[in-house]
Chains A and B, each alone.
Chain A
């Protein structure tokens, strides 16, 4: 496989870019690919805590592009999963600390050292997003089933298209099957109708995500929640496998609480 660089982006903030990046990076590394998770959110670093690697950071992305240290030295190796490495963002710098040229050069170096690189983009359509996206070949756009998030996703997709990223694929995050069923949440099909791009996965809204973030243990490390399976499936699709979508509604009604919900018609 040729080395691949994928930017994970969204337009709107808080829709699940960092969560998605962390879970996919773990799943891809577990599948045997040497994986780099790059925090492109300079000044608001987060990927380190979501991955649970915050205590091991010495150098960061800005140090590397400024030549203060070598890439290999700045990459934090994950001890839980073989093949997984984090390049943290600088926390005390702003996004102006990095230029598009420096990002391109960094991406070339990442390509030489890793099978797959995931870049967690900051929200917005400004320079921070452009820096995160400029060196990537492909893009994953994360959105939630809400008017504002889908609208921003459309904007970002237009920009990624004009930057010639391909493929550009969608993760629909935080879907609530019960609300979809009652007609109070736009469904996968609605979102795809509107955005007209390929879907690479649907992640349910799941308390397991919050718990895993609390602990700094991405779900794909071995959790059995539906969200964990949904993220693993996205990783498999990235690797070219054909995996059918999970039946979120059915899994929503499993277990005691599912039974209760069903019985109460919630």
Chain B
């Protein structure tokens, strides 16, 4: 490829195959962490339960989502804290 052609490619808009690849990678993140909304809701409830033993949290502002780092997927939770409890309210040891 000569210089002009290369320059032309650089200014040309993104190739459709690159768009395809990006879209695929994004959609697969979700497919691969295919957790049903129901399971996600249970996870949220359980998390609230555990964390509330130690912290006062804003339950309706919790954000739970999957994020992809290179080749791995992470569960990212953003849980706004209102207050730290002085004493843990843990009742029973887990079985």
Contacts and interface: CB of A to CB of B under 8 A. Distances in A.
A180 B24 contact: no
Given A147-B23, A147-B24, A150-B24, A155 B31 contact: yes
Given A147-B24, A194-B25, A154 B32 contact: yes
Contacts of B28: 151, 154, 194
A186 B21 contact: yes
B15 interface: yes
A185 B31 contact: no
A187 interface: yes
Interface string A153-197: 011001000000000000000000000101111110010011010
A150 B18 CA distance: 14
Nearest to B12: A183
B17 interface: yes
A13 B39 CA distance: 30
Contact of A184 (B17, B25, B31): B17
B8 to A, nearest CB: 12
Interface string B37-48: 000000000000
A186 B20 contact: yes
A186 B17 CA distance: 5
Interface string A37-48: 000000000000
Contacts of B23: 147
Contact of B16 (A184, A187, A194): A184
A154 B17 CA distance: 18
Contacts of A150: 24
A16 B31 CA distance: 23
A190 B17 contact: yes
B20 A147 contact: yes
A160 to B, nearest CB: 14
Nearest to A146: B20
Contacts of A151: 24, 27-28, 31
Contacts of B20: 146-147, 186, 190
Interface core residue of B17, B25, B27, B32 (most chain A CB under 10 Å): B17
Question: Shortest 8 CB-CB distances between A and B: which pairs?
Answer: A183-B15, A186-B17, A184-B16, A190-B21, A186-B20, A147-B20, A183-B17, A147-B24
24 contacts: A146-B20, A147-B23, A147-B24, A147-B27, A150-B24, A151-B27, A151-B28, A154-B28, A155-B31, A182-B15, A183-B17, A183-B18, A184-B16, A184-B17, A185-B17, A186-B20, A186-B21, A186-B24, A187-B17, A190-B17, A190-B20, A190-B21, A193-B21, A194-B25
Interface of A: 146-147, 150-151, 154-155, 158, 180, 182-187, 190, 193-194, 196
